[in-house]
Amino acid sequence: MTEFEDDNDIDNEEWSDEWEYGKSKSQVKRDLNELKSLGKQLIDLPLRDLNKLVLPESLLEAVVDAQSMSKGALKRQVGFIGGIIANEDYEKITRDLVLLKQPHQGQVKQFHQLEMWRDKLLADDETIYGQLISTFPGFDVQHVRQLVRNAQREQKMSKPPKSARLVFQYLQSLQKVNDEVTQS
């Protein structure tokens, strides 16, 4: 027997083992594609987020290497990463990845809330002031009213929305202080 025949025998043994346990060939392929998809998600993460995950050293190295690859090399590396993930606790990796992405979703929701408040302020919605005063103890109504007047003036004169940005930044700073106090 040649070297290649031995490899085929090993693959056939693995396949027959899977088949005996009730998995079809299609199911095995779907599972492998899910592992590759998980690998692609890891590759798309920035290095600072990868370091937050508890990954085996070999997997982390493979993912970091894949981030600098393109086309065919990347495709082969994704398959390699899928193989490494198959030998690890991929359910834990998936859970950790979901938890890592959740704070980002909260930040987006918070960002949209700040935009809504800014838009209401610029639209002269007087009820928003009471809501902001109750939400942020250090809310400076006089300062915000001045910024809103400046923003409305800039809009009428077709100038860049400098003051509207300042309103948003002020609300963002209040939110940051509020979050720090809540976490303490």
Distance CA 162, CA 120 (A): 17
Give ranges for CATH 1.10.60.30 in the chain: 102-183
Distance CA 137, CA 174 (A): 9
Render each residue's pLDDT in the chain as its tens digit; 184 residues: 444 444 444 444 454 444 456 778 888 888 888 888 888 988 988 888 888 888 888 998 999 999 998 889 999 999 999 889 888 888 888 888 888 877 666 677 888 898 999 999 999 888 999 999 998 888 999 999 999 999 999 999 999 989 999 999 999 998 888 877 776 6
CB 40 within 8 Å of CB 85:
no
What is the pLDDT at residue 20?
53
Query: pTM of the prediction?
Result: 0.48
What is the pLDDT at residue 103?
66
CATH code of the domain made up of 102-183: 1.10.60.30
Q: Please state the length of the chain.
A: 184
Distance CA 46, CA 95 (A): 18
CATH code of the domain made up of 3-88: 1.10.60
Distance CA 184, CA 173 (A): 17
Number of Cα atoms under 13 Å in the Cβ half of residue 178: 15
CB 69 within 8 Å of CB 81:
no
What is the pLDDT at residue 52?
82
What is the pLDDT at residue 6?
45
Q: Which helix (H) or strand (E) holds 67?
A: none
The single-letter code of the amino acid at 148 is V
